[in-house]
Amino acid sequence: MCQESTKFKNVWTTHSASPIAYERGRIYLDNYQCCISSIAQEPRILYEKPKCSKSEKIEDALLLECPLGEMLPSPSDYKPSLIVLTVQNWLLRLSADSGEILEKIYLAGSFCKFRYLSWDIPQEVMVIKSAQNKLPAAARQAGIQQSILFYLAVFQVLPLSFIGMLEINKKIFGNSVTDVAVSNGILIVMYSMGLVRLYNFQAISEQFMEQPFDLGHEFNWNGQVGVVGKYPFGLPCNIKITDTPPLLFEASSLENAFQIGGYPWHYIITPNKKKHKGVFHICSLKDNALAKNGIQDMKCCSLEPDWIYFHPDMSGRIIHVGPNLIKVLKLKEVKNNTDQTEVAEDFTIVANRENCVNNSVTVTASGRVVKKRFNLLDDDPEQETFKIVDYEDELDLLSTVAVTQIGADGRAHLDFHCNEHGILLKSIPLLESWDVTYSHEVYVDKDLVLHIEQKPNRSQLLFFSSSLM
């Protein structure tokens, strides 16, 4: 990949009126009705299904891969499959290679609309979240109260088994709940004032589980008789939280931005005031103590904010990305004080702005002094600006996309850096124009590069590059 002799060539381009999705060697078009393999030198269609009706529209999807070293009940379980959620509350497991329906589960009736799929534990436990329940305006005017805000359904995968379904009720969690998620065994509840509260989801399941249910089995629940996961009954809401569960942790952060990671465990927040936007505090999860050098502020003057996150390589490091600077930070013990942690710089990657001149005072040929009334923003399109930073786990490379607007066209290049030290190993110019006003995604998958550009009218364009020796 990083040899000087390796060249990348654009081998395929396509358009789509609906969003384009990419998952580990598979490109999905037309709301997942068409699947294209990107593993071959040139893409080939794996399957193409007839156009679906609005009632069969897919809301979200997750790729499910076979676990290693486990005995599974069905031969189809040993091959990758796609879990999809439809607009009518059906959960389908499709063959990733043929699109054939392997399993079909009905989730719930019209009392809730499930919309989002996510992993609690990747490739092990899946969470399905509903849209927020909102009463019609007429009902609100009539004084009718809506206490249930969200529904969550939780499944073990391969084999697909039902763990439980629960309500997020404002009578238990409060009136100002805005969102909820489950991740790594933690129930995360977010509030309108920037508060984030964490609860032990496994403890909640064990304490408030009224009765376990198995998919496909008959049940008699609250006067209803039916089959679990079959139409029209769907899934029983068998986890009833009747009291506020024990609180694990809470923090207040601007826009509910809250992350946990590192070693030892730390969290990142932004103080909950607008003037602190772009300021990040790195604190110990054990005692909430701010780490030494734990306030990270790039002091950017830009339209797009800088962003920060824990490195996905599980090294415990932190990546902080600004318009022209990427800082990879590490946590280490303070000398002579093992109880305190220090944030130190591991390495930096700097945008190439050698040719950028931003003088506030210029002198014309006639000798007249002209003063500029404004300075360029840090992410001005005419200056090279970082747009994407990603980690390629199979190659252990850090990839960056930097863009410079040259006249009417934007020019971008994809760079590969050594993940350990940040050394530039290879730079690949992206030949297609990059419009900074559009949304872009770039995926690096071993020797493949995919660039997805989303235009305002929802039409999308995909550029597919392959390495050639």
Contact 417, 313 (CB under 8 A): no
Given this model, what pLDDT does residue 365 score?
62
Query: Residue 340 to residues 44, 287, 310, 335, 354: CA-CA distances in angstroms?
Result: 54, 10, 19, 9, 39
Given this model, what pLDDT does residue 441 score?
95
Classified as helix, coil or strand, 390 is: strand
Contact 371, 320 (CB under 8 A): no
d(CA 265, CA 6): 40
Regions in the chain scoring below 50 on pLDDT: none
Contact 82, 61 (CB under 8 A): yes
Tokens 């190659």 found at: 395
Given this model, what pLDDT does residue 378 score?
65
Question: pLDDT per residue over 202-251, tens digit each?
Answer: 999 999 999 999 999 998 877 888 899 999 999 999 999 999 999 999 99
Q: Supply the pTM of this predicted model.
A: 0.88
Segment holding 57, helix H or strand E: none
Given this model, what pLDDT does residue 183 score?
94
Given this model, what pLDDT does residue 276 score?
92
Contact 308, 288 (CB under 8 A): no
How far does CA 193 lie from the centroid of its chain?
23
Given this model, what pLDDT does residue 300 score?
83
Given this model, what pLDDT does residue 469 score?
56
Given this model, what pLDDT does residue 446 score?
79
How many CB atoms are closer than 10 A to CB 228?
20
Q: Is 153 exposed, middle or buried (CB count within 10 Å of its CB: 0-12, 13-18, 19+)? A: buried
d(CA 58, CA 359): 52
Given this model, what pLDDT does residue 58 score?
95
- Closest by CA to 259, choosing from 283, 239, 243, 278, is 283
